Structure 1
Amino acid sequence: MKCLVLVLVVACVGAEAATTCARSQEFFLRHNVSADESSEPGPLCGGQCCGRGQEAHLRNSLRRVAERRLAATTRPIKELLLSTRRTLQEHLIELSRQSQNKTAGFFQQLYRRHAARAHSPLSSLYEDIRTLLTSSPERDSDELGSRPPKDLSESSRKFFREVFPVAYQSVLKLEAKRFTPEYDECLKAAYDAVLPFGDIPEQMGSSLSRSLEAARVLLQVLAAGAGALESSELVLSNTNEECFNKLLRVAGCARCRGHDVRPCRNYCLNVARGCIGSPVAELDAPWAGYVEGLERLTRPDADVALREMEAQVSKAIMYALENQGILESKVRQECGTPTTFELPAATAPHLTPNRRDALRAPPPYTELLQFAASLARNKKLFARLADRLCDEPDFENEGNDHCWNGESIGEYIKPLVASASLSDQKYNPEMSGTPEDSKVAALGERLRQARQLLVTHSKTAGIQAEAFMQGDEAGEEGSGSGRNYDNDDTYDDEGSGEEGSGLEGVGSRANIGEETTYSSTPKTAAATASRPLVSIILGAIIISVRQCLT
């Protein structure tokens, strides 16, 4: 009789356990965790519903859930940086080709039989321009802050020196003749002494050098930001194993014990902020400063410089024509009387002038507006990164009553740690310690370097730039300050300065007798710190209206 009672009790307990475990089956199936042969409970959860093998599989699955959630947060921003970089790079390269063709058309109209002689120096100048713009994201990220591969001031000077013999021949109206090679070389050698084009070549070279180098830096900075985000994913995926055990305890152990319940909200946040947020907490302030640096660099000066190149060349040639008497006197003093030879008619066919069409490469204002808005929304990316894990279905819960508190179903009464910062993690009841990662410190320094480059190459006045740099978080807060960035005004005190950023109105310069060209000379408009994108949107509307009217 006693044996029968014992058997019935065991059977009832087994039936109750089976019923309890059935509540967790949907959870296990979702994580592709099937039953194993071992009846021994897992070492971490110890529940009757998970053997050792099931627990190990569940731990790995929850780890992948966390990694996917973090990647889903950072990768879209990384892709946004790279796609914006690609858009700008392709736009400027295409604009340089159109500008080259238009300037070549100008020479063909002006010099006709001698236009081909300007082709090589013109090609060299534009190739130097494209050398600055043509690079891969990987190389740009590695070469952040490196010296430019070409000095466009020297490239401009070389171009005008090589073109000088052709221009001087036009000044003397020697259409059917050509200078001897020796006289050509003398003119080039005398270029610095004669200065046939005044200071226009120097101005153009300075403008090209400044604006194209700023564009190159912007391309580098966009690539560096994308690289930093990719590296942050690796840091998170290499989080210590103990943290993944804690994630299992948060979202899996209740199921292993047969409870169909989710973790308490504050319990999840404490573990997420300690295990997920704290490894990258040092990137909070550098990332916010990096984003703000990009917001401030809104002037596409390279676009303007490329659009004005033909006009600058035309202006230089006009200078030589207008100062013919002085120029002839200087040249005779340096090279003597011109020596020429007749051009055979067969070698100088008449060329039909190309039409100097307006440049058809409109600035990518729409893409830049979308980029600025998206980036502004993610200024606090790393400050909020960990909390997003607790929005996943397996971790999500709104309250702290009648939920899984890590030990049982009940109330979670431990204090909620304020943030993922290293200073706050000292008070995290779920963490025993959070070691600093040297790789993260290097990433933060790289983002600071990128921001400093943006400030250096921006159009901001010297005093404003100095004030902006003095507000850099690197000099005041350092890492792990625990500062709460949920309040925009608080962050503004640290790095955002007194004004937001904005796209400006657009001015244009069109050559007489030509179609109105696209122009992009944004002028910075002030915006309030709480609404940094208002002026950008207004600028875009003004641009659209002006383009419609023209």
Structure 2
Amino acid sequence: MSKEVEEPVKELFTDISLYLLGAQTRVERAFFRFFDSLFPLVYSRLINPGITDLSEEYTECLRLTRQDINPFGRYSKEAVAELTKSLRASRMFNQALGMGIEVLNATEHTILTKECTRALVKMQYCPHCQGLTLIRPCEGYCLNVMRGCFASVSELDASWREYIYTLEYLTNEMAGAHDLELVLLGIRYTINEAILYAQLNGPQLSATVDKVCGQPEEKEVKPLPDNIVQVKEIVEKPSITMAHSATVNNKRSSLPLKASKNDKSRSLKKMSREFITYMKRSRTLYASLADRLCDGDLVMKDSSTCWNGEDVVESYTNRVVTNGLKAQIDNPELKVKGLDPHVSSLIEKLHHFNQLATERKHFKSERWTIRESGSGNGMNEELESSGDCDDEDGCQGSGDRSYTKVSNVSSTVCSSSKWIYP
């Protein structure tokens, strides 16, 4: 049986991997397909080991009736519920990383305006024309030039700070409240419990299947030891199963395994903490960019003279403006026309992403879906929430409840992004 179940297991984990990478798929459906494929194998190999190879028609009947018969009890839904929460947090975390990379790459290759280029040349090279090769710009002069050049980029500050908070929240979700590592380790346990449940209820399942699908051909065969669980073991198991059912409402009850203590250096939790600690240092990246550029060998600090753009002076006497686009109105060194359209697009994307994460954090929903409505730069999003429904209930949305539309959000986002948030 282990070889026969290899393909369904591969398909399940392939779907999980694709989901984490952003594919338009649903974890619930992937898991239910797995249990649909598992039921015929359990039925013919464990519940009724004397059955010959099932016909395609009979196998398909078992697959189609699995959701109605519910041979695996609560375990099929439990496996989906806990894993889905963790995978959604991990999926959104992966999308957050993609968003951060996009913003950093875009700002790294920001095109300087003509006014900025002239101001930089004047600050850095004009002293050379007068033979002043060792003199360096005054600190205040440098700050005015750099703050003017990066006025648009500095407007990312508020959205970037919020993005880092979002990243921190998602990291805690993925490695804390919904520890993906423990959930994945617990899949095997939950599936084993589901199979045992089906075996314990074998006679009732067989009677129900006979009514729905008819009786398959049978012949006397000696069951293989590795294909069945001995009757003695089945009799001894109920007490364990009943004890487990008493605590199944505990969110962690289906996760008895713990990450290996011998592999702490590679644990997801530790790596996540190190990552977010590193990322928090960049919280003020765009607010302090100009200051960092002028806080080094570029300017003259310990000398009595410096270059102010016109001559060598003892100190820079012009007004030093602060960061931000509005403050550049009073910049004496260069004129800033307005917000760079490309930076404006990045701000909008970050704001949109942060908004979705905030809604996920404060709105208790089981399912959020953002559907792409076309190609190009536009995306029409629809946030939907659901209660306790899943595909096993035979509905598209939420169990006994119908989908409730929360809001419609329209925003310009990367056309390659296909986001599905719970």
More helix by share: 1
Match status 1:425 vs 2:339: no
Structure 1 segment 43-62 matched on structure 2, within 5 A: none
1:440 and 2:343 equivalent?
yes
- Corresponding residue for 1:33? none
Tell me, yes or no, if structure 1 residue 121 matches structure 2 residue 8: yes
Task: Look up the SS of the partner of 1:178 in the other structure.
Answer: coil
1:161 maps to 36
* Cα contact 1:425–1:434 (8 A) shared by 2: no
The one-letter code of the counterpart of 2:5 is A
One-letter amino acid of the counterpart of residue 71, structure 2: P
Aligned partner of residue 52 in structure 2, secondary structure: strand
SS of the aligned residue for 2:319 comes to coil
**Equivalent in the alignment of 2:146:** 272
Letter in 1 for 2:144: N
- Determine the structure 2 residue equivalent to 1:229: 104
Q: How many angstroms apart in 2 are the aligned matches of 1:359 and 1:380?
A: 34
For residue 119 of structure 1, what is the amino acid of its counterpart? E
Tell me, in whole angstroms, the C-alpha distance in 1 between the residues paired with 2:97 and 2:353.
9
Report the structure number with the largest CA radius of gyration.
1
Where in structure 2 are the equivalents of 1:227-376 lying within 5 Å? 227-235=102-110, 238-259=111-132, 260-275=134-149, 277-297=150-170, 298-300=172-174, 301=178, 302-341=180-219, 363-376=267-280
Q: In the TM superposition, what is the alpha-carbon distance from 1:291 to its structure 2 partner?
A: 0.9
Q: Measured at CA, do residues 396 and 352 of structure 1 come closer, stay the same or move farther in structure 2, by a change above 3 Å?
A: farther
1:111-130: CA deviation from partner (whole Å, max 9, x where unpaired): xxx33332222222122122
Q: Which residue of 1 aligns with 2:386?
A: none
CA distance in 2, matches of 1:352, 1:359: 30
Shift of 1:364: 3.1
For 1:185-207, what per-residue CA distance to the aligned partner results, in whole angstroms no more than 9, with x for missing partners? 33223212211112322232233
AA in 1 matched with 2:345: A
Q: Give 1:76's aligned residue.
A: none
Select the residue among 289, 311, 317 that pairs with 1:408.
311
Partner residue in 1 for 2:81:
206
Q: In the TM superposition, what is the alpha-carbon distance from 1:149 to its structure 2 partner?
A: 2.9
Shift of 1:245: 1.9
**Inter-CA distance 461–328: structure 2 relative to 1 (3 Å threshold):** farther
| Percent identical residues | 30
Deviation string 1:458-508 (CA, Å, 9 cap, x unpaired) is: xx45389xxxxxxxxxxxxxxxxxxxxxxxxxxxxxxxxxxxxxxxxxxxx
Shift of 1:389: 1.9
Match of 1:175 among 28, 49, 71: 49
Give 1:456 shift: 4.9
Q: For the structure 1 residues 266 and 208, does the alpha-carbon distance in structure 2 shift closer, same or farther, using more than 3 Å as the test?
A: same
Structure 1, unpaired ranges of 5+:
1-113, 136-145, 465-550
* Residues 1:390 and 2:294 are matched in the alignment: yes
CA deviation digits over 1:279-305, x for unaligned, max 9? 312211111111110011123233232
Q: Deviations over 1:244-271 (max 9, x none)?
A: 2212222322232133422221111111
Give the root-mean-square deviation of aligned CA atoms. Answer: 3.0
Structure with higher RCO (Cα < 8 A, 6+ apart): 2
Report the Cα distance in structure 1 between the residues aligned to 2:10 and 2:219, rounded to whole angstroms: 27
Q: 1:352 Cα deviation (Å)?
A: 10
Contact 2:137/2:308 (CA < 8 Å) preserved in 1? yes
CA separation in 2, counterparts of 1:186 and 1:398?
A: 82
Instruction: Indicate whether 1:218 and 2:122 are aligned.
Output: no
Q: 1:167 to 1:349 in 2, by over 3 A?
A: closer
Q: Which amino acid in 2 is paired with 1:438?
A: P
Contact 2:148 2:335 in 1 (8 A): no
Given candidates 364, 367, 380, the residue that maps to 2:284 is 380
Cα distance in structure 1, aligned partners of 2:350 and 2:192: 42
Q: Does 1:462 align with 2:355?
A: no
Contact 1:179–1:340 (8 Å) recurs in 2: no
- Summarize deviations over 1:325-355 as a string: whole Å, max 9, x none: 4433422332344532456x8xx977699xx
Distance 1:334 1:349, change over 3 A: closer
Whole-Å separation in 2 of the counterparts to 1:329 and 1:222: 52
Q: Count the aligned residue pairs.
A: 325
Residues 44 and 50 in structure 2, CA contact (< 8 A), matched pair in contact too: no
Alignment equivalent of 1:197, drawn from 72, 75, 79? 72
Change (3 A) 1:193 1:367: closer
Partner AA of 2:87 in structure 1: L
Report the 3-state secondary structure (helix = DSSP H, G, I; strand = E; otherwise coil) of the residue aligned with 2:299: coil
1:228 to partner: Cα distance:
1.1
Structure 2: how far apart are the matches of 1:409 and 1:187? 89
Name the SS of the counterpart of 2:338 in structure 1. Answer: coil
User: Distance between the aligned counterparts of 1:263 and 1:119, measured in 2?
Assistant: 68
Deviation at 1:440, TM superposition (A): 0.3
